[in-house]
Structure 1
Amino acid sequence: MHHWISIPFSTVFAVALLGNSILLYVTKTEPSLHKPMFYFLSMLAVTDLVLSLTTMPKMLSIFWFNAQEITFRACLVQMFFLHSFSIMESAVLLAMAFDRYIAVCNPLRYSSILTNSLTVKIGLLGLARASGLMLPLPLLLHRLPYCRSHIISHCYCEHMAVVKLACADTRFSNIYGIFVAVFIVGLDLLSIGHSYLMILRTVLSLASREERLKALGTCFSHICAILVFYTPVVLSSIIHRFSHHVAPHIHILMANLYVLLPPMMNPIVYGVKTKQIRDRVLIAFSRKRL
């Protein structure tokens, strides 16, 4: 069945590569898009590209060529990039929530508060946080002995799946992994939720219905991106930690959705809902027809 399963996986991979590459190209070539909002969107596109390129080539090689082996060091490198850029994506979504908060609640000071230099600093801070939090995990796993089965019950090297293969005390690695997951998801979601509470309060104070709908419309794409990213993360974590009787293929499916959905859906949602991007793409395609 692997060849049949590979069809939707390869389709998702192709859409993710094409969509995020178009987003980056449009943002780079269109001067009117050189704004903090679109810089954050470019960061999201780069993060999604790294997530796709970290996991999908190996996944497709399993489906197409039955190439199930991976070296231990390559497995740790894949795990580092996968989890680091998942944390980075969470940071970018948080930064975009801050961007929407400033745009809706304090629009007159938007350009003075969210400068290009601050946007770059936010991106670098998110990358430093992701790398710093994830670097200990492969170093800890590299020192553990592995005398049990070397079969990972996933299509990629997920942290908990690798930890289960060790034949030593893994409590510290388990606790650290749980701490990072809870800290990142909990802190970022609380901060995003607080931003949207402030946005909602400002929107409800607007006089006309049209103004309220217009203000909320600017946040729609970001809300979709949040749901697409965090829903598989939360569901996968709940199933993995608390549902011990769930079939293994459900665990694997949820873990795959975690890395497949955001890279594919984000460029589609932003391309459809963001007028500047949609118009620029339509102009580019119309020129090619001419």
Structure 2
Amino acid sequence: MPEENHSIVTEFFLTGFPGLHPEYQGLASAVLFLVYSLTLIGNATIFYLFATDRSLHKPMYYIILNLCTCDILFSTTTLPKIISKYWFESGTISFTACFVQMYFVHYLGSVNSFILFLMALDRYLAICHPLSYSLVLKNSTICILCITVWVIAMTGPLTIVIRAYPLPYCASNIISHCYCDHIGITTLACTDRAPYAFPAFVFAMFALMGPLAFIIFSYCSIIIAVLKIANVQGRLKSLSTCSSQLIIISLYYFPRCFVYVASVFGIKFSTDVRIVIIMLYSLSPPMINPFIYCLRTKDMRESLKNKLNRRTILQKAQVSAIGN
């Protein structure tokens, strides 16, 4: 069938969680709103600390700043629409808006994956090649790499959107998901989706498995390098500098790999379970990451502590002045 747009569909309907009982829809939307609020507050706090504390102007924190930007944008792309569905019964999304959302979902997912690659590169050079770390990863270098990541990640999602948009959509317009993605949209096309699914699969493997392969290599190299350190305390110190990144990387990749391996072995999930799993691994990391930075990263933890102590001192001084 030629790729001409013979669609009679003018808008799509997002089901959200299909099996959710109406009496729990308010609770679900409240939870999603809480997740969105915590994501914005947590990541905005990281921006504030970075802007007000020059000691954080280091390569690793520039990478974290890019991850925060990606997390805020991804949550803003996906959550407001599904929250409005349950609050205002507004589950419809226009034809074009759905494809725009699909683009940003896949684009920001790719950016996230490549930023985690940069995180692993930072720790690999810091531990395996400490003498050349400051020469190779300067602030200017990491900024260029981050900009490159944002630019390179545009290509794949743009290609799959351009190929999917002209398909004829002349049957159901119901997307069993909380947001528009490639699989959810193209399964509704009145044509064979195989020619469009394979390029999307190749892109997904490049965006996810490419960085993951380097991440596995880098952390294997890090473990080998750490085991060569004679001092046990030195080993623990080296590993502690990787702990926050390793937790963040695990939160991003492990659930995705689990879903992929399950599909390979023929394990099928119900629609509700599948959507819950996807929402958990898509939206939990943006909310949890800022807490990991502040609790597990020494410089950021100290910066936050200093800000809170300073605020406490100012409040006590104001109370004392009012009392006098």
**TM-score normalized by structure 2?**
0.86
Change (3 A) 1:245 1:32: closer
Which residue does 2:157 correspond to in 1? 134
Q: Deviations over 1:34-60 (max 9, x none)?
A: 110100010111010111110011111
Give 1:251's match in structure 2, choosing from 250, 266, 274: 274
Which residue does 2:246 correspond to in 1? 223
- Whole-Å Cα distance in 1 between the matches of residues 50 and 293 of structure 2? 12
Question: Aligned-pair distance for 1:248?
Answer: 0.8
The answer to whether the Cα contact below 8 Å between 2:251 and 2:285 also exists between their aligned partners in 1 is yes
Which residue does 2:173 correspond to in 1? 150
Question: Aligned-pair distance for 1:225?
Answer: 0.4
Question: Aligned-pair distance for 1:244?
Answer: 6.8
- Greater shift, 54-63 or 119-128, is seen at 119-128
Cα root mean square deviation, aligned = 1.5
The aligned length equals 290
The answer on 1:106 being equivalent to 2:129 is yes
Q: Where does the alignment leave 5 or more consecutive residues of structure 2 unmatched?
A: 1-23, 315-324
1:78-89 correspondence to structure 2 within 5 Å? 78-89=101-112
Q: Deviations over 1:14-48 (max 9, x none)?
A: 11111111111111221111110100010111010
The residue type paired with residue 243 of structure 2 is: F
Which residue does 1:189 correspond to in 2? 212
Change (3 A) 1:136 1:243: same
- Whole-Å Cα distance in 2 between the matches of residues 112 and 81 of structure 1? 35
Which residue does 1:48 correspond to in 2? 71
Q: Deviations over 1:101-143 (max 9, x none)?
A: 1111122222111012221221122112210111011111111
- Whole-Å Cα distance in 2 between the matches of residues 48 and 242 of structure 1? 31
Q: Deviations over 1:198-249 (max 9, x none)?
A: 1111100001100000000000000100111112222334456764742110
In percent, how many aligned pairs have the same letter?
A: 36
- Whole-Å Cα distance in 1 between the matches of residues 65 and 229 of structure 2? 31
1:1-290 correspondence to structure 2 within 5 Å? 1-239=24-262, 243=266, 245-289=268-312, 290=314
The residue type paired with residue 194 of structure 2 is: R
Write 1 or 2 for the structure with the bigger share of helix: 1
Local SS of the residue matching 1:135: helix
Higher RCO, 1 vs 2 (CA within 8 Å, ≥6 residues apart): 2
- Whole-Å Cα distance in 2 between the matches of residues 76 and 242 of structure 1? 31
Structure having the higher Rg: 2
- Whole-Å Cα distance in 1 between the matches of residues 28 and 133 of structure 2? 47
